[in-house]
Amino acid sequence: MDCKNALTEAHGDLDKAVRILREKGIAKSSRRAERVAAEGLVDTWVSADCKAGLIIELNSETDFVARNEEFIGFGKSLLKQLQENPGWTSPEQAPVAQVAELSAKTGEKIAFKRFTRFNVSGGGLVASYVHPGSKLAVLVQIESTKAGAASESLKELGRELCIQVAGANPTYIVRSEVPTDILEREKEIAKKQMEGQKKPPEILEKIAIGKLAQFYEAQCLMDQPHVRDISGKAKIQDLVDAAGKKDQAQLKVTNFVRYRVGAD
C-alpha cells in the first residue's frame, strides 16, 4: 500500500516514488524520537600504543536489536569516526543521517547517547574493559613518570583497575576528591547513628572516624579493597604502588569512567 501511494504521489515516476518512500522512512524514524531507548550496548577502543582510548554508549529500544550484527557494527563505525574526528566533543556531532537510517531499518529508536575520550601524553596508558554482554564497560587513565611504551606490568595494572571499577563502582579516585558537603553529610549520619549511646566522647570520635573510613573504602578507588584479592587485605593503592616499583616510576590514576547501558 505504501508503494502504491508513493507511485500515485509521484505521478508514476518510479525514481521519485523511491525517494518519497525513503523520505517517509526517515519521517517515521523521527516520530520514534519520543520513544524510550534504554537498551543497547557499550563498547571501547584503545590505540595500539595505549596512549588514547574511547568509550561509547549506543541505545536501542530492545535487547533483540542491540544484539543485531548491524547494530553492533554501527557501534564499531562510531568508534572509528570518533578516532578520525578528535575534535568531536558531543554525540550530536556524529552524522545524524546514519542514526536515522539504522532506526528506519530496525523500526526502533536508535540513540548515540554518550562517549568519553582519554589521551595520555608522555608516560602512562589508557586501559579498557568490556564486560561480557556489552552492557558494562570501563575506561581508565594512568599517568607515569617513566616515558615511552607501556610496560607489561603497567598494562596488567590497567586491566586490574578496569575490572575493579566495573565490579566495585567507585565514585572518586582519592579522598581529596570527595566534596566537603558529602563528607559533612556522612559525619552527620554517623552522629545520628550513635545518638543515645552512653560512651565517652573520645570513643564516639573513634567510631565516627571508623565509619568515615568505611565510606572511603566504598567510594574512593585508591581506598577500595582489591576485588580479586582473596585475602581481602590488599588495597588498590597497594596495587598501584607495586606496579610503580616494578616500573621504577611514580604512577597516578588520573581518570576513569564507567558506562552501564541505560544508566545516567
Strands 251-260 and 136-144: antiparallel
pLDDT for residue 176: 95
Q: Can you tell me the mean pLDDT for 96-103?
A: 87
pLDDT for residue 31 is more than 70:
no
List the grid coordinates of 45. 577502543
- Rounded to an integer, the average pLDDT of 141-159 is 95
| DSSP three-state, residue 135 | coil
Cβ–Cβ under 8 Å, residues 17 and 9 = yes
Please give the pLDDT value at position 141. 98
Instruction: Say how many C-beta atoms besides its own lie within 10 A of residue 107's C-beta.
Output: 13
* Domain positions in the chain: 2-33, 35-168+251-260, 179-217
Note the pLDDT of residue 7: 54
229-238 contact pairs (CB < 8 A, 24+): 236/161, 236/164
Q: Is beta strand 251-260 parallel, antiparallel or unpaired with respect to 39-46?
A: unpaired
* pLDDT, tens digit, 9 for 90 and up, residues 112-131: 999 999 999 889 999 999 99
**pLDDT: which is higher, 104 or 126:** 126
Strands 136-144 and 124-130, bridge-based pairing = antiparallel
Confidence (pLDDT) at 13: 62
Q: Kindly indicate the confidence band of residue 18, based on its pLDDT and cuts at 50, 70 and 90.
A: very low
Mean pLDDT of 30-39: 64
CATH topology for the 35-168+251-260 domain: Tetrahydropterin Synthase; Chain A (3.30.479)
Q: What is the reported pLDDT for 47?
A: 97
**Confidence (pTM):** 0.83
Average pLDDT for 208-220: 90
Helix (H, G, I), strand (E, B) or coil at 199: coil
- In sequence order, the 6+-apart residues with CB closer than 8 A to the CB of 247 are 144, 146, 151, 153, 154
How much is the pLDDT for 87? 95
Q: Greater confidence, 1 or 195?
A: 195
Q: What residue has cell string 598501584?
A: 240
Cell of 125: 596508558
- Looking at the predicted structure, is the pLDDT value of residue 49 above 80? yes
Average pLDDT over residues 49-63: 96
Average pLDDT, the chain: 88
Q: Is the pLDDT of residue 174 over 90?
A: yes
